[in-house]
Chain A
Amino acid sequence: MDEAFVPLSEMMRDMGSPPADLLDEDAGVHTYVTRFELESPVELDIGIDERGQVVIGSNPPLYVVDTSYRPVYHRIRFAAERSEVSDDH
């Protein structure tokens, strides 16, 4: 994988960090995000490692410079929902 790219799971983890809860103690209001969806163009480096497994490297678009020779943009969308975790998990 090209060193400019990271595994897809790392990119999703970094892009998908939800905003922190908003807490206004004076007003007694606690606001939080229940679900968020993210859609972004993404550069992918898909190769095969020495064990024959497909390796998916990814990165959000690195450059904003408009050039005639542009990278190929794929697109990723994902949704995450807030859920309560019970103690027995």
Chain B
Amino acid sequence: MTIENTAWQLEDFVDSLVVELDKTRETLAVKAVNKPLSYSVKEVSLDLQTFPSYDGDQVRFVTAQPGQEGASKITIQLNSITDQQVRATTKMPGARTDIPIERIPVDKATKKQLRKLGVQSVDDLEHLKQKNVDLDQVGDGDIDYSTLNKQIQKSRRNQAPPIVTAVSLALDEEDQPYLRIEGANLSVDPAFPPVAAINQHVVEVISRNDGELRLRLEHDLQADNELVVALDEFSVVKVNVKAR
């Protein structure tokens, strides 16, 4: 059931219009299976009588109702487009690791600014960085890029959270005991040296890679031990280790 005369956004309307046109094309394509000659829709134009409103953020439209006068006319014209033109003008759907701007926890104003600049995802931002585009120059200059960068890193970290699968005791070449932490995504920021503490005593991180961390044991382990490791700015792992 629909709610009539609800305000709608132009983008949503055009999306639905394109879906309707696709359905028309599909019907014609089925017809074409039987007939070698068929008709295809080339151009569609729609004049809409609407009342627009602007809430300071978005423009919305309400379709004019019977008896209402003074409506504005919007003309939407869809022309046929070749597959080559589609490829040249359309951004391919985001890679699996791409993060849409909507999912980055930054304020609404920053998101709006980025959208105005055509930035829809983190990959778009990276692309601009690679081209040496200074967004401060082209934007309104009110985007806090240091906060934005941090939030992007945080979102990326959320996509690859640290996983600890095992903690074990081992001896190095000099028969010195160390604690081995195994898992995944344990070292994603090379610029951030991990900090570890066992039972609230800071211990040295001997080595690290994505799948393993080695911690120097300077004190004997107790029956129950609390191990806390800050792997980078956005992830802290806390593990209870029982010694037997």
The residues of A with any CB-CB pair to B shorter than 8 Å are 1-2, 7-9, 12-13, 16, 18, 32, 35-36, 44-50, 53-57, 69-85, 89
Cross-chain contact of A85 among B1, B17, B37, B65 (Cβ < 8 A): B37
Main SS class of interface, B: mixed
Excluding A46-B8, A47-B5, A74-B47, 9 further A-B contacts by CB distance (< 8 Å) are A13-B24, A47-B6, A48-B6, A54-B13, A57-B2, A77-B43, A78-B43, A82-B39, A85-B35
- B38 engages A9 (CB within 8 Å): no
Tell me the smallest distance from the CB of B138 to a CB of chain A, in Å.
32
A15 to B36, CA, bound (A): 21
B129 within 8 A of A: no
- A75 engages B47 (CB within 8 Å): yes
Closest B residue by C-beta to A68: B67
Closest B residue by C-beta to A81: B42
Number of interface residues of B (CB under 8 A): 42
- Mask, B84-123, CB within 8 Å of A = 1, is 0000000000000000000000000000000000000000
Closest B residue by C-beta to A17: B39
Main SS class of interface, A: strand
Tell me the smallest distance from the CB of B25 to a CB of chain A, in Å.
9
A58 to B32, CA, bound (A): 25
Of residues 1 through 57 on chain B, the ones whose CB sits less than 8 Å from some CB of chain A are 1-6, 8, 12-13, 15-17, 20-24, 27-28, 32, 35-49
Tell me the smallest distance from the CB of B129 to a CB of chain A, in Å.
34
Tell me the smallest distance from the CB of B203 to a CB of chain A, in Å.
52
Q: Given known contacts A56-B16, A84-B36, A85-B38, is B27 in contact with A9 (CB within 8 Å)?
A: yes
